[in-house]
Structures are given as C-alpha cells and as structure tokens.
Amino acid sequence: MPAHLSRRSALGLGAAAAAVSAGMSGPAAAARPDDGVASTGGPRVIRRVYEQEKAKAGGTWHTHIAAVDPAGVPRPIVEDDADHVTEGYSVQKLAVAAAVMDKIDRGQLTLGTKLDLQQDIILEGSGIYFLHAVWGDEITVANFLTAMLLMSDNTAVRMCGRVVPAAEINDILAAKGFTHTRVEPVENPHRFFLGTTTPREMHDLLWRLATGTLLAPASCRFLLSIARSINGYHDGIRRTMSSEERSRIATKYGADFNDLGASRHEAGIMFGRDGKPKLTYALFAEGLDDRDNYGSTHPAVQAHAVIGRTLLDHLPAG
C-alpha cells in the first residue's frame, strides 16, 4: 500500500482497517505472581506501568482501565481522558457485531442466515475473504461475524451492512445507551465508515458483554467466544502469555492513521480462572510515529504488550 494512502481511504466507502499480524516477538515475560491472587498495590503498579509505557510510546493516549472490587463492581484504575471521542477504527467492529446480534435477538435474523459473497463487495487490508481469489460462496452470518472479530476482516463489515444498515446500527447503539459509539453513514445506506467511540463507552460495552447484559446471554457468549479465541490477535495485550492465559482475554485491535499520525488501539476484557470478568481495558493511542508499521514492533503495540502482562499479573482475586 502506498505510504501516502491511509488504510481508511484505501478501503473505500465501506470499512476502516485493522492490521492483524501474527508476529509473536516481544520481550520475555517478567517473573510474576499467581494471577489468581491480587498482589499488594496492584492498581498503583498498573498506573505506574501505564504511564511509563505511554511516555515511551509517545503520541496522545485516551484510556480507561477498570478492575472489579470485592463486591464484583468494576472500579476505574486508569482514567486518562476517558471521555475523549476518537476514531475507533477496527475496535468498532465489536459495536457492529453487537448490533447484528441485537437484530438476531429480536428474531429478525439468525446466525444461520446465508448471504452470497459478491466479488464487488470484496475489500483488501485485513481479513481472509480477499485472499480467496474466487468468490460467490454463500456464507452464514455466523461465518462473517467470526471473520470480522477474529481476523478483523474488512469485507465482513460490508456483509454486516447488508443485514443491518448504518442508520439501524446507530439506532441500536443509541437504544443501548451509547452516546458517542456510532458508525459513520455514507450515501449507500448499507455502507459506512467505522466511526467513533470513547474509552469509557467501550468499557461499558465490554463489561455488559461479559456480564451477559448487552445482548441475550447466548449472543454475548457467542461474541466473547470469538474474541477470546487463541487464534486471534496476539501482538499486543496477549503477546507474552501462555495459551491458557490468552484464552481468558477477549480483545479487539484497531489501527490506522490520520492527519495526527498513526493510531494504535486495543480494547478487551480479562477473566479469572473462575470464569468471572475481572478487568476491562480500552487503550486508544493516536498521533503516533511509525505510521506504516502495523506489526508487533510498533512502539504503542509494544507498550500494549507490557501493559497487558501487568494487568494480568494484577487481576483482582477470584
């Protein structure tokens, strides 16, 4: 892709991009306590590491990190400009998937509903469908939702738009209490850019998804099972973790660039070994250097890896 062309522009009037790379490189994990027991001063350690990594990576960060208290209520640990409205890029695919599942919950669609994968809808960037070279398959809603969340497939966003138009997605999100989490409609009602969110609203979406209150419980479990898959994105938060540890983290990455510079985002939720949600994170960093590096060596992605290891090491006790 030409260096002067943003990933958002390259995708046309359909979807913004997330770069999903499979690199597993990174610093070795430091010695750590049993992650089933909260260590003394956990919030203080998390705040210190966050500030250190933010300073090293540069750019402007907008962040919300929250951990459950003894009563199981999420309490903020880091609130760093957490109400800033920002381009969510492919983190927004979580909100789009939630809107599709809401329509399924209302009986207007099913996971088994099939659509043809048309050649004129194919987008490059991240994902798998553009690699097929031939198209015309009939694929289920479950198929393209899985591709969108697991591989951050851009064509899958357009498939979502065929079953839930942009205006309906925004109406669903508004009805669920989100003020700033919106897709950006374009002339074609079935196409959209991925739009905006805030770290606090993404925390809310994640927490309600993890507690089975955002959608029907079965729909929440379906989306979480994809986001928690160990076949997903590993360059950031989950980089220096075992397979078992990775399976307890539902995460979504988003990356692009704009006039401010590069953006590297990641949001997700961590579960304890008892299966209960313990901590949410929503890290949105913009104005970064190294614009065309979508791999694990980008400074902000390296920061995510260090922060992620720290978060897991200091999960609240289960």
Residues 84 and 214 grouped into a single domain: yes
pLDDT of residue 317: 82
Distance CA 311, CA 302 (A): 14
Q: pLDDT under 50 in the chain at which residues?
A: 1-39
- Any domain includes 216: yes
Residues 146 and 224 grouped into a single domain: no
Q: Which of 153, 180, 207 is the last residue of a domain?
A: 180
Please state the domain count of the chain. Answer: 2
Residues 203 and 165 grouped into a single domain: no
The pair of three-digit structure tokens given for residue 242, joined into one six-digit string:
């075992």
CB 182 within 8 A of CB 173: yes
Question: Which phi and psi angles does 225 have, rounded to 5°?
Answer: -65, -35
Domain assignment of residue 174, given as a range: 90-180
C-beta neighbour count of 242 within 10 angstroms: 11
Residues 111 and 162 grouped into a single domain: yes
- Any domain includes 280: yes
Residues 223 and 302 grouped into a single domain: yes
Q: CA triplet 19, 22, 28: central angle to 5 degrees? A: 115
pLDDT of residue 318: 60
Residues 139 and 60 grouped into a single domain: no
- Any domain includes 188: no
CB 256 within 8 A of CB 5: no
Residues 235 and 133 grouped into a single domain: no
- Any domain includes 190: no
- Any domain includes 242: yes
Whole-number percent of the chain with pLDDT over 90: 86
Residues 56 and 96 grouped into a single domain: no
Question: Which phi and psi angles does 261 have, rounded to 5°?
Answer: 130, -160
- Any domain includes 189: no
